[in-house]
A and B are shown apart, each in its own frame.
Chain A
């Protein structure tokens, strides 16, 4: 398993080389969400990276509307890409463009969704032989990474250390709060009383506004497991902290040592976590969100309670067109708390409040029974 790293300065490149890292991501400010390199700097960095024998990845991970895309294509004409080894893209439009205009290998960022094998296979087949690797979501647990590595049989990469991006909008959200131009780089921290987590890092730049998790992703203590599942690349992102931590990170990834890890965590300015690496249960709360109506219905479904007058009556709306309600019928009512009640119809009136013998596909007033609320569901 190899480490890869974002580099913004010549020193960063040297540091990468010192840590036996052979592949670096260069972020041009017009193409990379957090890129800071202009044309000249990009060119110089590329040359120096090549002198050091490093493989260069051109990161193009911004999302673009049609007009942004045309601007990006124009900007690309002024950048020296002669030394790059590979493209790294996320917008499918950028993927289509580099596939048709350049011959380099392509790394495709599948970090937004793509949480199933079929989706990943679709991207793999689309890019074909030029696919250098897929970059997977950190929401995938280890078992899935293992399965995908075996079944896809292509190199895979995940974020091993660095900020977890939670939110990306093209709108400038921080500018209105301060007196600055909207394309200036602004950093802030946001805290809401309504969220259990405090202190979300925020960045605004020319590409929009970004929010990050309060903790950073850290899989350093799991590198042996990642090697066992044959993960190919582990990405390190120190753009929001400092490249000075790279040596410790590289050391720990290679030779994990519990004590040194604890020391490192004390020293590192942010808290870290393993995120969803062990398990992803982000759908377990859904049954609680689902309301009581979502229980399976079949031909036994009658309708819904629409009014309850305590000790007087229930009014029901008969929705099953094939059902005719009569005195003496036994109804099973699932109340809004999920409990079932049985009720025998002893009194039956229509909406004029007149006694009738049967009612079909209309409103019916029947005898009251406790523990039933409006919107309770009725079955036979």
Chain B
């Protein structure tokens, strides 16, 4: 029996991450071009990279959505039609849009499907009707919407619905924070967010004289993790579950995609998640850098326990991203690009695109000129002995000793 599962949608902050996300199991990726998206500081993709990314995805029968979700000013809009024509030419699968002016421009210049960005904060069935009347095909609902509410919006609107399932969260209603605009001179709704909500503040309760001034990261949200709620997503017919993180590492994009892929495949086959593996999937989510997890508003409104105290961050990482496979020559070597230094004998694991992590033999490490080395350095290339199954773009992670020491 095959049970219907939501599309798994993963971030692609660069061409490399696009490939990593798809190879590790995402059904679709979302990425930005050079402009018009909300991540000004992300690598984003050039025209050539977008073309290559779409070809790569389509060969795997997967999809690419391009974000055009800034609140654009008139001068930005002038440059948009040319980019839209290009996107249509390379046959991207949809654009992600939040601004009515951008919707209009996309419709006037192409037949590309339009997904409404979470940035537009679509939260209810009545709002859905308006966006539907403007030709939107899919709603990426606000992070404040529960799975149950999303199911109701889908039912009443007849539109596809997408919900965030994993990753960092904006504390504000999306599109409703302009702190950076006024404090840093950077428009947060055009990609310039300075993450002021992650700062520590001293909060002075002027009108509550009995309360002392408190120092706290009171505006910072824990990270979303909906793995334990996958059955709810499936039950309410959610069309797509989205992983946040265009600014994050390949380790993150690959690891999270892999876990959700395995879980969704399990459900597809069995129709339930009553699996011993659920513990493994949950454990996998702790193997890369993240803030403490919350289910935020997926079940009921996010409460006090969804606020993150930045001082907890040191506890939240079992593994670090050590390297990426640049080349694997069977019977010879695996060429790695080092991200975080390691030494011979370190516990290295290679994360294959499918199946469990594989231990890498790191007893003897060579540099590219085949000289044995005692310590690797970030951004250098090293060779370790070939391990079966290794492929280009596989992620290699290293057990974090900081985490070990804290346990």
Write the residues of chain A forming the contact surface with B, with a CB cutoff of 8 angstroms.
63-69, 91-97, 112-123, 126, 139, 144, 164-178, 180, 182, 186-197, 200, 202, 209, 211, 213, 275, 280-286, 289-291, 293-294, 296-298, 301, 306-309, 312-313, 315, 317, 351-353, 362-363, 365, 374-375
Contact = CB atoms under 8 A, between A and B. Distances in A.
A192 B201 contact: yes
Contacts of B123: 63-66, 68-69, 91, 93
B57 interface: no
A313 B369 contact: yes
Interface stretch (B85-93, B94-102, B398-406): B94-102
A116 B77 contact: yes
B381 A297 contact: no
B190 A317 contact: no
B176 interface: yes
B46 A122 contact: no
A290 B121 contact: no
Interface stretch (B208-216, B249-257, B261-269, B352-360): B208-216
A290 B40 contact: yes
Interface in B99-135: 99-105, 121-131, 133-134
A113 B99 contact: yes
Contacts of B72: 115-116
B223 interface: no
Given A190-B201, A286-B191, A63 B173 contact: yes
Contact of A126 (B130, B172, B182, B206): B130
Contacts of B304: 172, 175-176, 182
Interface stretch (B58-66, B138-146, B314-322, B343-351): B138-146
B206 A188 contact: yes
A139 B144 contact: no
Contacts of B337: 306-307
Contacts of B367: 309
B380 interface: yes
B192 A186 contact: no
A209 B104 CA distance: 33
- A66, A97, A168 pick with most chain B CB within 10 angstroms: A66
A197 B183 contact: yes
Which residue among B34, B41, B126, B149 has the maximum number of chain A CB atoms within 10 Å of its CB? B126
B140 to A, nearest CB: 15
Contacts of B199: 192-195
Contact of A283 (B99, B129, B190, B332): B190
B335 to A, nearest CB: 5
Nearest to A189: B204
Nearest to A290: B40
Contacts of A113: 71, 98-99, 175, 189
A119 B99 contact: yes
Nearest to B378: A374
B369 A139 contact: no
Given A69-B126, A112-B175, A186-B208, A285 B192 contact: yes
Interface of B: 34, 40-41, 43-44, 46-49, 71-74, 76-77, 98-105, 121-131, 133-134, 142, 144-146, 149, 152-153, 171-173, 175-179, 181-187, 189-192, 196-197, 199-208, 211, 214, 216, 218-219, 221, 297, 301-304, 306-307, 326-327, 329, 332-333, 335, 337, 367-370, 379-381
Contacts of B196: 192, 194-195
Given A93-B123, A174-B218, 19 more contacts: A65-B123, A65-B144, A93-B126, A118-B101, A122-B134, A123-B100, A170-B173, A171-B303, A171-B306, A172-B303, A173-B218, A178-B211, A192-B196, A209-B219, A280-B73, A285-B184, A285-B186, A294-B34, A294-B43
A210 to B, nearest CB: 10
A315 B177 contact: no
B208 A169 contact: no
Contacts of A282: 181, 185-187, 190, 192
Contacts of A290: 40-41
A189 B99 contact: no
B124 A91 contact: yes
Nearest to B177: A167
A191 B207 CA distance: 16
B15 to A, nearest CB: 8
A63 B176 contact: yes
A49 to B, nearest CB: 28
Contacts of A309: 367-368, 380
Given A91-B127, A96-B130, A119-B100, A169 B173 contact: yes
Contacts of B34: 294
Given A65-B144, A122-B104, A190 B207 contact: no
Given A93-B125, A93-B126, A176 B218 contact: yes
Contacts of B125: 66, 69, 93
Contacts of A284: 185
13 contacts: A66-B125, A93-B128, A173-B171, A173-B219, A175-B304, A186-B205, A192-B199, A192-B201, A285-B186, A289-B191, A297-B47, A298-B48, A363-B335
B176 A168 contact: yes
Contacts of B134: 122
Given A114-B99, A118-B77, A96 B145 contact: no
Contacts of A180: 208
Nearest to B71: A113
A211 B145 CA distance: 22
Nearest to A113: B71
Contact of B43 (A92, A174, A293): A293
A354 to B, nearest CB: 10
A188 B191 contact: no
B127 A191 contact: no
A91 B99 CA distance: 14
B216 A177 contact: yes
Contact of A188 (B74, B185, B200, B204): B204
Contacts of A116: 72-74, 76-77, 99, 101
A351 B329 CA distance: 10
Contacts of A283: 73, 76, 186-187, 190, 192
Contact of B177 (A69, A166, A365): A166
Contacts of A123: 100
